[in-house]
């Protein structure tokens, strides 16, 4: 799929390359020349995705959400200040201050939101700046270690097993070099690399190693042919960054909420503007009412509260190994309805482990958990003694020295995956393997190769009385069996008749059917007479028997599921989340793992299973009956989108095996067509388009490539699927809690709004001032609403279905009605009773207050009479009005606290 | 992150809205069936009736508990406000400008004073008693008619030259205008601590400059027998005592700033926020 016009360096000969890049294979570039090229091409690093300029981010925060409404309020205030000043009114400055306060509020909340966002981005930035990579380079005829980003085209670099390839490299020498291209192409098997030109396509040819892939084993030397963004990886990365970021579900919800509240604010504002104008209020006064109504309606503190709540959750999730890059993604995980999970590393431990043994005609299971210390199967049989000896001796893998204090499972091993598994298994069961090997000295060895498909070694025995040599062999079971004439049963050699061969076949098929990699083991004690201890074994001429051996047993290995995964999958199930496995691995292995972790439950069957059970051809099976499906990448290729949709719809348990990266993208799109919120896990560069396409991309922190982490919204620091479940729980919790926060915040809006409406209609003295409202919204109410973010989850949080993003809104009809029309009204009534009480106690009985506004606010009346005949100056009245503000304020605050702590929390009110 | 909302065209939106208002298939009107709407309306009707009931009950019990004679708290009325008649307010407080030779400019002011003094005519004051003592008129019992307390008479003739009886123009055409200073009522307020409070008018900022003023009644005092005030219910016919000031030497064609303070214990005039507490300030300009 990558048909980039890459240069034809793979075709050129070594000398042509030297000429082309002006370098020398022995001496490398000169430092000065390298510096020149570095200046020309720039450092060998991927340009990070283009970031929005900070000032733009900042300004966005200043005009987003409710800010625009508040700006309008501020501008109106200033306009009326200007008009009043021009008219020479005394109280003009009140409006100036109000405008300034509104502007300050907007700027402060903007700065706060910006700061929160910057903080969460910084976590990520620090994360991506990992330890700088080093490369071994030949320059000025000297080998030097230098940072990989200093590499330039034409540099000669040396690579060895375990290194990350520092740039695109044309190999000029290689010894047993293998590279892991999985992050680039998704192939899970290591690819061997040599200096031969084997394919026209530069991506297929063996003599090019790509930037960011890893050298698994062997050594190689090569010329750097591309650096930085010009490497293949760089080009994919820039491709992925072209996919635009869309809004997260929570962003949509908040936008919906802002529209709703702004709609209410503006319609009530305009309505009362018209009413007040037609009641012959002055236009200027009407504008001031309008500002008051807007301020009362807009929950100024809410967006800051939401940001704080989200970042609190993000912090909590980071503690549980979910690093959230984008704050809003915290909630997305909660609304996820389909998880497309990778197999290797996410669901499994990503290391081969011995899972089953077969000897004495019996299958034994081995412990495959992460921290095995003992193996519980029956070890008393003499056949096991023989088998264990072969496992120990016929193995080239070794522990790296100096790890004696580490648990066996954590030690680093030099050797391939299956040998490592066998070595660790032997170490657990038998103890010091190295010592056993030393006592059984190796005299000859034929390593595994793909033609003979076996591995063989000849050892002296550790029994001083037994001078015979022991020949041990392991390999593909059918090949091993071919070479055997006897089989060991309970320590005795018995002839291998057809019945025993049948038993072997059954066991082999069974283990293979579990998706496990099976190895056969056999041995032969070489007769002392023919092979005295002075005998020289020649592995080329094979001057020793390799047939008529004695078959001992089978061992099967698998990359076992993580122990936390089955539980996590069942939690996802009960939470109504469909878990789909998408893997590049073999269907049988994939299905076996899917079954063992519960992605395919024990009782469900695929079409093929039903066919097998009923003994009918696959075509005749009623597809509706099958709840599970294992889809091969090859089948997927020929499917139309409708067929894919059908599979996604009809089967609840799906495994996609042998899939390519593009197919992963197709699957994600298919799920999204079903209206699902899709989470995708991935680690390779090839996953990055799917990670971007997904509603929430989850990258693996340990195994993941930088490109995947860049494309993802979340990083699982421990690569563990179970962490996703934690994330889902937190995501749902924050959604519930935000609902509570919003219900809490909206409630007082009515109590803030009613004063204005009553003031306009009934002409009473102003019950609450605009700035007092700001005090409630931004002062007393912030901390309680943040506290709601700490609310514990309802017990059924993980037993509900994921929310339907079209129907289950953050702010729905019930919540708005409940807050506005019920609790809001109750609070208003309470606040008004307080207000009337304060005025009555001071001398103004409620009946006196109605219709009093014009005289009350008249500066020219300084002997205003109250219900008791006392007379008040303007200032004395104003002071009383402020006392009224305080009463109203305290009343709302107390009612809010009661609402918060009250036992009438009825959670069902919100769903 | 993938796109979640598909763009809708305007006509689709309108169609959706129409379906929302009336959906013929499900028979839903605005998302509910009609019977559902009836129920919900009844619910809210009941809810609001109950809420109104609670509100009414609260106000009712409030009215039952407040003292009908005097308010429970008077902490916001520590010192009485002072007002001036005639009162013409400009942008920055009281401004009395007139042209002595143009009677149209001062007729309004004179009418204002006359209207104000109608309440102090002997006919208007006939229910009040004549008081002679110069001490506080303390009444612990309800001796008046209909279970009220008695109020002392204050008639306009007590203002002598400024009563409008001798000079119906209150001295405006001569450039020696009368102003009436009134102190606000505060229940159970005992001004002056035994000595009658008096009005004192000076130029603002330049108190040494002589301002010739005649005060009526003599010395510009409020007689103590008008105090304390027992409230509207106890003293329905109470009227504030007045002091008239007549300025004799106002320079013509110049705007002068005058302040009339009430001097007496318990009356403060230094509240910087309240220009009418214990004093009244005004600008006066008389033109020829």
Q: Which sequence spans correspond to the domains of chain A?
A: 14-35+132-232, 246-317+729-905, 334-348+562-719, 353-554
B66 lies within 8 A of chain A by CB: yes
Q: Are A473 and A448 in contact (CB under 8 A)?
A: no
- Which fold, A353-554? Calcium-transporting ATPase, cytoplasmic domain N (3.40.1110)
- Which fold, A14-35+132-232? 2.70.150
User: Counting beta carbons within 10 angstroms of the beta carbon of residue A690, is it exposed (0 to 12), middle (13 to 18) or buried (19 or more)?
Assistant: buried
A825 lies within 8 A of chain B by CB: yes
> Which residues of A are catalytically annotated?
342
Measured at the CA of B193, the angle between CA B192 and CA B197, to 5 degrees, comes to 15
Residue A632 to chain B, least CA–CA distance (Å): 26
CB contacts of B83 in chain A (<8 Å) are 862-863
Residue A77: its H or E element: helix A67-87
Q: Which of A829, A868, A883 sits opposite B55 (nearest CB)?
A: A829
DSSP per-residue string spanning A535-592: PPP-TTTT-S--SSEEEEEEEEEE-PBPTTHHHHHHHHHHTTPEEEEE-SS-HHHHHH
A49 lies within 8 A of chain B by CB: no
pLDDT, residue B282, reads 93
Q: What is the distance between the alpha carbons of residues A269 and A282, in angstroms, rounded to a whole number?
A: 15
CB contacts of A672 in chain B (<8 Å) are 2
Q: Are A378 and A364 in contact (CB under 8 A)?
A: yes
Window 5-44 of B: residues touching A by CB (8 A cutoff) are 5, 31, 44
pLDDT, residue A537, reads 85
A787 lies within 8 A of chain B by CB: no
Residue A722 to chain B, least CA–CA distance (Å): 22
Residue of A843, A846, A875 to mutate, interface with B, max B Cβ within 10 Å: A843
Q: What is the distance between the alpha carbons of residues A437 and A443, in angstroms, rounded to a whole number?
A: 11
A837 lies within 8 A of chain B by CB: yes
Q: Which of B58, B83, B275 sits opposite A833 (nearest CB)?
A: B58
A876 lies within 8 A of chain B by CB: yes
What is each CA distance from A734 to A250, A322, A741, B282, in whole angstroms? 10, 15, 10, 63
Query: How many A×B Cβ pairs under 8 Å?
Result: 141
A843 lies within 8 A of chain B by CB: yes
CA closest to A697 among chain B residues = B1
The neighbouring-strand residues paired with A630 are A655
Q: Among A409, A398, A460, A473, which residue's Cα sits nearest to residue A434?
A: A398
Window 133-192 of B: residues touching A by CB (8 A cutoff) are 182, 184-187
- Cα distance from N-terminal residue to C-terminal residue, chain B: 84
Residue A459 to chain B, least CA–CA distance (Å): 59
pLDDT, residue A132, reads 54
Q: What is the distance between the alpha carbons of residues A10 and A591, in angstroms, rounded to a whole number?
A: 39
The segments of chain B whose pLDDT lies below 70 read 1-9
Q: What is the distance between the alpha carbons of residues A366 and A391, in angstroms, rounded to a whole number?
A: 15
B87 lies within 8 A of chain A by CB: yes
Distant-in-sequence contacts of A86-95, Cβ < 8 A, 24+ apart: A87/B91, A88/B91, A88/B92, A89/B91, A90/A859, A90/B91, A90/B92, A95/A288
Contact (CB<8Å) A860/B235: no
CA A634 from chain centre, in angstroms, equals 28
CB contacts of B185 in chain A (<8 Å) are 865, 869-871
Q: Which two tokens stand for residue A669?
A: 């799109």
**In sequence order, which ranges of A279-381 are alpha helices (DSSP H)?**
283-297, 302-319, 329-335
Q: What is the distance between the alpha carbons of residues A342 and A348, in angstroms, rounded to a whole number?
A: 9
The segments of chain A whose pLDDT lies below 50 read 1-5, 126-131, 903-904, 908-911
CB contacts of A668 in chain B (<8 Å) are 2
Architecture of domain A334-348+562-719: 3-Layer(aba) Sandwich (3.40)
Q: Which of A678, A841, A873 sits opposite B72 (nearest CB)?
A: A841
Q: Which two tokens stand for residue A357?
A: 């043994």
Q: What is the distance between the alpha carbons of residues A359 and A377, in angstroms, rounded to a whole number?
A: 12
Q: Among A394, A387, A391, which residue's Cα sits nearest to residue A426?
A: A391
Q: Which of B48, B54, B274 sits opposite A873 (nearest CB)?
A: B274
pLDDT, residue B185, reads 94
pLDDT, residue B8, reads 60
The angle that helices A54-63 and A67-87 make with each other, rounded to 10 degrees, is: 70
Summarize pLDDT for A746-782 with one digit per residue, the tens.
888 889 989 988 998 899 999 998 889 888 888 888 8
Residue A836 to chain B, least CA–CA distance (Å): 8
Window 247-286 of A: residues touching B by CB (8 A cutoff) are 247-249, 252
What is each CA distance from B30 to A182, B20, B34, in whole angstroms? 55, 5, 9
The neighbouring-strand residues paired with A112 are none
Residue A597 to chain B, least CA–CA distance (Å): 28
Q: Are A227 and A150 in contact (CB under 8 A)?
A: no
Contact (CB<8Å) A862/B184: yes
Contact (CB<8Å) B59/A692: no
CB contacts of B119 in chain A (<8 Å) are none
Residue of A871, A882, A886 to mutate, interface with B, max B Cβ within 10 Å: A871
A459 lies within 8 A of chain B by CB: no
Helix (H, G, I), strand (E, B) or coil at B159: helix
Contact (CB<8Å) A246/B235: no
Summarize pLDDT for A540-590 with one digit per residue, the tens.
888 888 888 999 999 998 888 888 889 989 989 899 999 999 887 788 888
Query: A452: Cβ–Cβ under 8 A, 6 or more apart, which residues?
Result: A446, A475, A479
Residue B2 to chain A, least CA–CA distance (Å): 5
The neighbouring-strand residues paired with A525 are A470
pLDDT, residue A429, reads 85
User: Counting beta carbons within 10 angstroms of the beta carbon of residue A857, is it exposed (0 to 12), middle (13 to 18) or buried (19 or more)?
Assistant: middle
What is each CA distance from B268 to A620, A853, B94, B276, in whole angstroms? 105, 28, 20, 10
What is each CA distance from A364 to A354, A481, A485, A511, B229, in whole angstroms? 11, 20, 24, 11, 107
DSSP per-residue string spanning A724-790: HHHHHHHHHHHHHHHHHHHHHHHHHHHHHHHHHHHHHHH-PPPSS-HHHHHHIIIIITHHHHHHGGG
Contact (CB<8Å) B71/A825: no
A758 lies within 8 A of chain B by CB: no
Query: A116: Cβ–Cβ under 8 A, 6 or more apart, which residues?
Result: A307, A308, A311, A327
Architecture of domain A246-317+729-905: Up-down Bundle (1.20)
CA closest to B43 among chain A residues = A822
Q: Which two tokens stand for residue B279?
A: 């004093």
Contact (CB<8Å) A876/B80: no
Q: Which of A841, A870, A875 sits opposite B185 (nearest CB)?
A: A870
Residue A578 to chain B, least CA–CA distance (Å): 19
Q: Which two tokens stand for residue B113?
A: 């004073």
B276 lies within 8 A of chain A by CB: yes
Q: Which of A245, A874, A879 sits opposite B76 (nearest CB)?
A: A879
CB contacts of A842 in chain B (<8 Å) are 71-74, 76
Contact (CB<8Å) B51/A860: no
Window 83-122 of A: residues touching B by CB (8 A cutoff) are 87-90
- The residue length of chain A stands at 911
pLDDT, residue A185, reads 63
């Amino acid at each position: 799929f990558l048909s980039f016009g890459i240069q034809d360096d793979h075709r050129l000969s070594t000398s042509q390359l030297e000429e082309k890049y002006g370098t020398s294979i022995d001496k490398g570039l000169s430092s000065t020349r390298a510096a020149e090229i570095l200046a020309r091409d720039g450092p060998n690093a991927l340009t990070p995705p283009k970031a929005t300029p900070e000032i733009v981010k900042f300004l966005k925060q200043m005009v987003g959400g409710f800010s625009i409404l508040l700006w309008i309020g501020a501008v109106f205030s200033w306009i009326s200040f200007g008009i009043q000043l021009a008219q020479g009114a005394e109280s003009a400055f009140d409006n100036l201050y109000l405008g300034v306060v509104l502007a300050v509020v907007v700027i402060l909340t903007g700065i706060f939101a910006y700061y929160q966002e910057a903080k969460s981005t910084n976590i990520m930035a620090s994360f991506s700046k990992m330890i700088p990579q080093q490369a071994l380079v030949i320059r000025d005829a000297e080998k030097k270690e230098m940072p990989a980003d200093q590499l330039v085209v034409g540099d000669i670099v040396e690579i060895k097993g375990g290194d990350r390839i520092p740039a695109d490299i044309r190999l000029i020498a290689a010894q047993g070099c293998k590279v892991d291209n999985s992050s680039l192409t998704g192939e899970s098997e290591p690819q061997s690399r040599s200096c031969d030109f084997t394919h026209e396509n530069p991506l297929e040819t063996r003599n090019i190693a790509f930037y960011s892939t890893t050298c698994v084993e062997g050594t190689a030397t090569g010329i750097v042919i591309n650096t930085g963004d010009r490497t293949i990886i760089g080009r994919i990365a820039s491709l992925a960054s072209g996919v635009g970021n869309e809004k997260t579900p929570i962003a949509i919800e908040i936008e919906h909420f802002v529209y709703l509240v702004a709609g209410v604010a503006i319609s009530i504002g305009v309505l009362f503007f018209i009413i007040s104008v037609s009641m012959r209020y002055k236009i200027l006064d009407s504008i001031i009412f309008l500002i008051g109504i807007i301020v009362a309606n807009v929950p100024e503190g809410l967006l800051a509260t939401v940001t704080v709540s989200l970042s609190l959750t993000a912090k909590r999730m980071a503690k549980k190994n979910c690093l959230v890059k984008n704050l809003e993604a915290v909630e997305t995980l909660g609304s996820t309805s389909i998880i497309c999970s990778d197999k290797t590393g996410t669901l499994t431990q990503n290391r081969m482990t011995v899972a089953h043994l077969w000897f004495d005609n019996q299958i034994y299971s081995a412990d495959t958990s992460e921290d095995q210390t003992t193996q519980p199967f029956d070890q008393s049989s003499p056949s096991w003694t023989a088998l264990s000896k072969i496992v120990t001796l016929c193995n080239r893998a070794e522990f790296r020295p100096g790890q004696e204090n580490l648990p066996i499972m954590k030690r680093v091993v030099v050797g391939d995956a299956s040998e490592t598994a066998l070595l660790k298994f032997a170490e657990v069961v038998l103890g010091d393997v190295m010592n056993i090997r030393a006592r059984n000295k190796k005299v000859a060895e034929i390593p595994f190769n793909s033609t003979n498909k076996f591995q063989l070694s000849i050892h002296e025995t550790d029994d001083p009385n037994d001078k015979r040599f022991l020949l041990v062999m392991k390999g593909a079971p059918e090949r091993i069996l071919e070479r055997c004439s006897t089989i060991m049963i309970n320590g005795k050699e018995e002839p291998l008749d057809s019945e025993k061969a049948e038993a072997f076949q059954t066991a082999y098929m069974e283990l293979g059917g579990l998706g496990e990699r099976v190895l056969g083991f056999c041995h032969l004690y070489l007769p002392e007479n023919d092979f005295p201890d002075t005998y020289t074994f020649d592995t080329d001429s094979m001057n020793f028997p390799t047939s008529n051996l004695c078959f001992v047993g089978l061992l099967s290995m698998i990359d076992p599921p993580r122990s936390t995964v089955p539980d996590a999958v069942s939690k996802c199930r009960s939470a109504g989340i469909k878990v789909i496995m998408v893997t590049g691995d073999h269907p049988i292995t994939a299905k076996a793992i899917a079954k063992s972790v519960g992605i395919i439950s024990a009782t469900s069957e695929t079409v093929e299973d039903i066919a097998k059970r009923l003994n009918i051809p696959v075509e005749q099976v009623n597809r509706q009956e099958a709840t599970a499906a294992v889809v091969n990448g090859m089948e997927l290729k020929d499917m139309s989108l409708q067929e894919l949709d059908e599979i996604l719809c009809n089967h609840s348990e799906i495994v996609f095996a042998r899939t390519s990266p593009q197919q992963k993208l197709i699957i994600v799109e298919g799920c999204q067509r079903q209206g699902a919120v899709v989470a995708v896990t991935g680690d390779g560069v090839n996953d990055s388009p799917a990670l971007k396409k997904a509603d929430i991309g989850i990258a693996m922190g340990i195994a993941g490539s930088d490109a995947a982490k860049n494309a993802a919204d979340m990083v699982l620091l421990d690569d563990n699927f179970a962490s996703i479940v934690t994330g889902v729980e937190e995501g749902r919790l924050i959604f519930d809690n935000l609902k509570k926060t919003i219900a809490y915040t909206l409630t007082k809006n009515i109590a803030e709004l009613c004063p204005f409406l009553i003031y306009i209609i009934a002409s009473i003295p102003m019950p609450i001032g605009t700035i007092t409202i700001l005090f409630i919204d931004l002062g007393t109410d912030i901390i309680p609403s943040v506290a709601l973010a700490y609310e514990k989850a309802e017990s059924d949080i993980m037993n509900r279905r994921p929310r339907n993003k079209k129907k289950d809104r953050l702010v729905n009809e019930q919540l708005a009605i409940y807050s506005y029309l019920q609790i809001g009204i109750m609070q208003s009534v309470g606040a008004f009773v307080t207000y009337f009480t304060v005025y009555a106690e001071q001398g103004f009985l409620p009946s006196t207050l109605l219709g009093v506004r014009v005289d009350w606010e008249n500066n020219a009346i300084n002997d205003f009479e109250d219900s008791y005949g006392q007379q008040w100056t303007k200032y004395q009245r104003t002071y009383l009005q402020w006392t009224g503000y305080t009463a109203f304020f305290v009343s709302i605050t107390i009612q809010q606290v009661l609402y918060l702590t009250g036992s009438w929390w009825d959670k069902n009110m919100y769903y | 992150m993938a796109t979640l909302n598909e763009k809708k065209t305007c006509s689709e939106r309108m169609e959706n809205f129409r379906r929302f208002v009336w959906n013929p298939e499900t028979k839903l009107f605005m998302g509910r069936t009609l019977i559902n709407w009836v129920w919900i309306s009844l619910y809210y009707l009941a809810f609001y009736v109950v809420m109104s009931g609670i509100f009414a009950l609260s106000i009712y019990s409030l009215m039952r508990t407040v003292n009908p004679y005097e308010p429970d708290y008077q902490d916001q009325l520590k010192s009485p406000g002072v007002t001036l008649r005639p009162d013409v307010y400009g942008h920055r407080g009281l401004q009395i400008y007139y042209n002595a030779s143009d009677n149209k400019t001062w007729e309004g002011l004179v009418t204002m004073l006359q209207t104000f003094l109608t309440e102090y005519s002997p006919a208007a004051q006939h229910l009040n008693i004549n008081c002679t003592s110069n001490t506080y008129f303390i009444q612990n019992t309800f001796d008046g008619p209909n279970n009220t307390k008695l109020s002392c008479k204050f008639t306009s003739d007590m203002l002598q030259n400024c009563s409008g009886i001798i000079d119906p123009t209150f001295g405006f055409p001569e450039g020696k205008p009368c102003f009436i200073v009134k102190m606000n009522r505060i229940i159970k307020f005992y001004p002056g601590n035994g000595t009658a409070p008096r009005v004192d008018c000076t130029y603002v900022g330049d108190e040494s400059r002589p301002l010739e003023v005649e005060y009526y009644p003599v010395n510009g005092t409020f007689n103590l027998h008008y105090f304390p005030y027992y409230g509207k219910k106890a003293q329905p016919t109470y009227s504030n005592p007045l002091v008239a000031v007549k300025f004799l030497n106002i320079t013509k064609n110049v705007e002068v700033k005058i302040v009339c303070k009430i001097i007496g214990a318990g009356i403060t005039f230094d509240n910087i926020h309240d220009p009418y507490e214990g004093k009244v300030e005004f600008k006066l300009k008389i033109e020829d």
